[in-house]
Amino acid sequence: MSLDFQQGTPDNPAGHAILYFTAYGDESSVYATYLIVPPIKIELAKYMPPLFASKVSLSDMENISSIPLPPVPEEVESLGYLSALAKSRGDDLVYGGVVDVSDMERMLYSTSEAARTYLEMYNKRPPIPELTALREGEESSSGDVGEVLFPLMSDRDKLGELSKLTGALKYAVEGSDHVMAGEIRHQMKILGKHLGENFKIGELIEAAQSPGIVASKLSALYTERCYKLCDEDYLEVARIEREIKKLTDG
C-alpha cells in the first residue's frame, strides 16, 4: 500500500502520524485515525479485542506494531484542521486514499494495511547514532542478563543460544529493525567472550548480518564450525575452514 506524506518525510517517519482517508463519492468528507509506533516493544495480540483480532493478521506484529487508534477512522472537521493539528504536535500527516465509509470491515482492513506500511517505513529510517552507540556499547543494560546467565551454561547450551541469536539477527536485519539487531549483536559478543576467541563469533556476526547467498552460507559454516570445535572434531573443523576460505577468497 502506498502512503502520501502531506507532512513529514517517508524516508524518516516520526513514529507518530495522523492517518486520514477521504470518503468514496464525497472526497470532501475526511476520516482520520492516529498511528503510533511504540518505543517499547509489546505483544499486540494480547490486547487486541476479539472483534478486531479476527479481522487483522497479527502474525508479523507480535513484538512491535504501528497501532491505529481508533482502529476504524472517525470523521473529522476537515483536512485543514488535521493539517494544523499535525503541525502543532509535530506529527506526520499521511493520506491513505479513498475508502467506502459504509463498509466497516473494508475500512478496518485499509487502516491495518496503512499501519503496516507506515511501520515498514519507520523500521527503514536511518539509525540514530546515539542509540546505536548505546546498543553496541559494553555497558548496555541488556548485556547484564547475559553476563549472569551465560557463565552458568555448558558450552553446548551456549551454542544453542548462539544459534537462536544468529537466526534472530538475520530476521532483525532483514526487517530493518536496528534496535533489535543491536541488542542481538551485543548478546552474541557476550557469548563470544565466554566461549573464547577460537570460536570466531565476530566473523559469525558479520556473516549473519550481511545480505546475499554467500553470507548466508558463511553464517551456516561458522555456526557448524562452533559445534565441531565444541566436540573437539578437529578434522571437521579443518574441512569447514577450507570451505570458508573458498567462499571468502572467491
- CB-CB neighbours of 82 under 10 Å: 21
pLDDT tens, 73-87? Answer: 999 999 999 999 999
Enumerate long-range contacts of 80-88, CB under 8 Å, 24 or more apart.
82/18, 82/20, 82/30, 82/32, 83/6, 83/7, 85/18, 86/6, 86/7, 86/17, 86/18, 87/7
- Average model confidence (pLDDT) across the chain: 84
At 48 the pLDDT is 59
pLDDT for 91 beyond 90: yes
Give the residue from 197, 194, 201, 200 showing the smallest Cα distance to 155: 194
Final residue in a domain of this structure, among 70, 93, 123: 123
Residues 147 and 80 in one domain: no
Residues 101 and 155 in one domain: no
Lowest mean pLDDT among 169-178, 198-207, 231-240: 169-178
Residues 138 and 101 in one domain: no
- Burial environment of residue 21 by CB neighbours within 10 A (0 to 12, 13 to 18, 19 or more): buried
Residues 158 and 239 in one domain: yes
Task: Identify which has the larger pLDDT, 58 or 210.
Answer: 210
3-state SS, residue 164: helix
Residue 221 DSSP label: H
pLDDT for 127 beyond 70: yes
- Report the C-alpha gap between 24 and 62 in whole angstroms: 32
pLDDT for 134 beyond 70: no
Residues 65 and 148 in one domain: no
Residues 148 and 225 in one domain: yes
Q: What's the grid cell of residue 60?
A: 508479523
Confidence of residue 223 (pLDDT cuts 50, 70, 90): very high
At 63 the pLDDT is 44
Confidence of residue 118 (pLDDT cuts 50, 70, 90): very high
Residues 50 and 94 in one domain: yes
pLDDT for 143 beyond 70: no
CA distances from 76 to 85, 147, 185, 215 (A): 12, 52, 45, 50
Lowest mean pLDDT among 118-132, 176-190, 204-218: 118-132
What is the mean pLDDT of the segment spanning 15-31? 94
- What's this model's pTM, rounded to 2 decimal places? 0.49
Residues 85 and 145 in one domain: no
Residues 56 and 25 in one domain: yes
Q: What's the grid cell of residue 249?
A: 577468497
Residues 28 and 110 in one domain: yes
Q: Which domain holds residue 223?
A: 129-249
- Burial environment of residue 86 by CB neighbours within 10 A (0 to 12, 13 to 18, 19 or more): buried
Q: How many domains does the chain have?
A: 2
Final residue in a domain of this structure, among 123, 144, 179: 123
pLDDT for 149 beyond 60: yes
Residues 111 and 137 in one domain: no
At 145 the pLDDT is 58
Final residue in a domain of this structure, among 123, 157, 176: 123
Residues 112 and 156 in one domain: no
